[in-house]
Amino acid sequence: MGKNRHIENSDIFLDGDKVKQKSNVKFHGVIVNEKLDLEPHINHCKLNIMSSLFALRNARHCVNIQTCKVLYNTLIYPYLSSGLHLWGAYFQNCS
């Protein structure tokens, strides 16, 4: 039994109905793929953080530092702090 053994897809039924297989699923706010990889979640967070940083960078000329901090804590910090226990476990297994 090696680490890279291939498991064939089998049909799963719930109350007699076949459950459709998806490549990605969101569970408790974390997106995982069929390999239980966090790559889709990382990409999702990265895109949202980049968009928020653009908005924050443009807003800094119009608002004071306190408002910038509120925007950061509202738009960016949740992506960095959510699922920290999963991030730690994921990166320990990657290295």
- List, for residues 5-49, the tens digit of each pLDDT value: 656 667 888 898 888 888 888 887 888 888 878 888 889 999 999
pLDDT of residue 7: 60
pLDDT of residue 6: 59
pTM score of the predicted model: 0.67
Report yes or no: 59 and 68 within 8 Å, Cβ to Cβ: yes
Report yes or no: 18 and 12 within 8 Å, Cβ to Cβ: yes
Phi first, then psi, for residue 85 (nearest 5°) are: -65, -35
Q: Which of 52, 89, 48 is nearest to 70 (CA)?
A: 52
Task: Say yes or no to pLDDT of 1 above 50.
Answer: no
Percent of the chain surpassing pLDDT 90? 36
Distance CA 63, CA 67 (A): 6
